[in-house]
Each structure stands twice: as structure tokens, then as C-alpha cells.
């Protein structure tokens, strides 16, 4: 970047104008830090974005191995880029978490949709809320096979109690893309509902995530 005029260097532009004034490529260049003997960090960033059709969301989808296939991106830079992508995702999710509503299953399904619909195995997790229905966070309980994930109700309840939650929304995905509940899903929901009552907790919903669609036991009046 030393070959660039000082007014065009991302670091200097950041200090002078602030982060909001920088392009996506310039922000990426700051993370990448150094280029190669043939390319500046800014050129590396532009090439990387070009490979992703200029879409930062596509950048997030690149795996650690795919990053390293990009010219000028080695193991260290690949780790840095994946770490920043994951951190930005978690920050965005944290902000959206304040908008979750127990009375609006769609808001919860949407919050977890992108994470769960791409999973190749069934993943079961719990989302937890306090007595005022405020979101307290979530916890992954188990990961299973292509079509089944064994769930220990006590693991779910333990996670809820550790977060001082009173309300639980159970969630899992169907890798097939069809969120229609199986007989096992219905039985599990009943077990969770009965177990929650014993502990003074409430199973507010069980949401199954499919491919851009979901099934809510609450919306379908399948909870007592």
C-alpha cells in the first residue's frame, strides 16, 4: 500500500474520514493488512470481492479452504477473514435477538433460518426467554444424523436454568427441507412440555426449520 498516495491508503482514509466512508474493498484491505510482491492488500481485497460477485454475504459463505485458493490469501489471512465474518454474523444476530417475540413464531424462525437451513445434519437447540418474554440467548443441545438427533430433555432444561429462563422455544432443522413434524417430533414435543411443567418452566413453542420455511407447534395449536 506504500505505493499508493497517502490520501488513498485505507488506513489513512480510515483515520481521516472514519470507517463509514470506506468501501467494502478498503475495509477488507485493512483486515488483510499486507499484499504480495505483485499485488497490494487493496487489490487482493478487490479480487476477493470480485470472486464473490461483489456481495459480502457471498464472502461469508466461503470456507477456510476456499479462502486459501484465492491468490495472495494464505492460512493466516484465511483464519482472519473467517474470524471477522463469524464475528460480524454474531453481532448482527445479537441485534436481531432483541426483536424476537414469543407471540410471533415467524420472528424466531427467521432469526435461526440461515443457520439451520444449511445444516446437513439435524441440529437441536433451545432459545430462552425470561418472565417478561425477553430473549436471554440460546444453546445448542445436540447434533445428530441426516434425519435424527437424539435429544435429552434434561440437557435442554439445564441450559434454560443456567440462563435463568422461564420460557423455552425448542428448535431443530430438517435437512430434507420439509419442516413437517414427524411422529417422533410430536412425541418429543409432548415430553418436553410435560418435563418443563415439572420444573416450573414453559415450553412456548417447538419450531422446525426447513428450506426457507418452518413449522411452529404454537401456530398450529399443537401445544396444550
Write out the residue limits of the CATH 1.10.150 domain(s) in the chain: 6-95
H or E element in which residue 36 lies: none
Write out the residue limits of the CATH 3.40.140.10 domain(s) in the chain: 102-216
Nearest Cα to Cα of residue 160 among 173, 150, 170, 149: 170
- Joined together, the cell numbers standing for residue 145 give 444424523
- Joined together, the cell numbers standing for residue 159 give 441450559
Model pTM? 0.66
**Class of the CATH domain delimited by 102-216:** alpha beta
User: How far is the C-alpha of 114 from the C-alpha of 93, rounded, in Å?
Assistant: 11
Query: Under 8 Å CB-to-CB from 71, ≥6 apart: which residues?
Result: 36, 39, 44, 47
What CATH number belongs to 6-95?
1.10.150
Q: In what order do the strands lie in the sheet with 202-209?
A: 135-143, 123-129, 167-173, 202-209, 214-216
Query: Under 8 Å CB-to-CB from 214, ≥6 apart: which residues?
Result: 105, 106, 109, 113, 179, 207, 208
Helix (H, G, I), strand (E, B), or coil: what is residue 167? strand
pLDDT in tens, the chain (224 residues): 556 656 678 888 888 888 888 888 888 888 888 888 888 888 888 888 887 776 676 777 788 898 888 888 889 888 988 888 878 777 766 656 667 888 899 999 999 998 888 888 899 999 999 999 999 989 999 876 555 556 889 999 999 999 999 999 999 999 999 999 999 999 999 999 999 999 999 999 999 999 999 999 999 999 97
Amino acid at each position: 500500500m506504500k505505493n499508493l498516495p497517502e490520501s488513498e491508503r485505507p488506513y489513512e482514509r480510515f483515520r481521516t474520514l472514519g470507517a463509514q466512508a470506506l468501501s467494502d474493498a478498503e475495509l477488507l484491505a485493512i483486515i488483510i493488512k499486507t499484499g504480495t510482491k505483485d499485488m497490494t492488500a487493496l487489490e487482493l481485497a478487490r479480487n476477493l470481492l470480485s470472486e464473490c460477485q461483489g456481495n459480502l454475504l457471498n464472502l461469508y459463505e466461503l470456507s477456510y479452504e476456499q479462502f486459501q485458493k484465492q491468490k495472495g490469501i494464505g492460512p493466516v489471512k484465511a483464519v482472519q477473514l473467517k474470524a471477522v465474518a463469524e464475528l460480524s454474523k454474531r453481532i448482527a444476530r445479537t441485534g436481531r435477538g432483541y426483536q424476537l417475540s414469543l407471540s410471533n413464531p415467524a420472528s424466531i424462525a427467521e432469526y435461526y433460518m440461515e443457520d439451520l437451513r444449511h445444516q446437513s445434519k439435524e441440529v437441536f437447540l433451545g432459545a430462552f426467554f425470561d418472565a417478561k418474554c425477553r430473549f436471554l440467548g440460546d444453546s445448542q443441545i445436540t447434533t445428530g444424523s441426516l434425519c435424527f438427533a437424539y435429544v435429552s430433555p434434561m440437557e435442554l432444561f439445564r441450559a434454560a436454568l443456567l440462563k435463568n429462563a422461564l420460557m423455552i422455544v425448542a428448535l431443530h432443522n430438517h435437512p430434507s427441507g420439509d419442516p413437517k413434524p414427524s411422529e417422533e417430533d410430536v412425541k418429543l414435543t409432548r415430553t418436553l412440555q410435560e418435563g418443563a411443567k415439572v420444573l416450573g418452566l414453559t415450553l412456548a413453542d417447538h419450531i422446525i426449520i426447513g428450506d426457507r420455511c418452518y413449522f411452529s407447534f404454537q401456530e398450529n395449536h399443537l401445544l396444550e
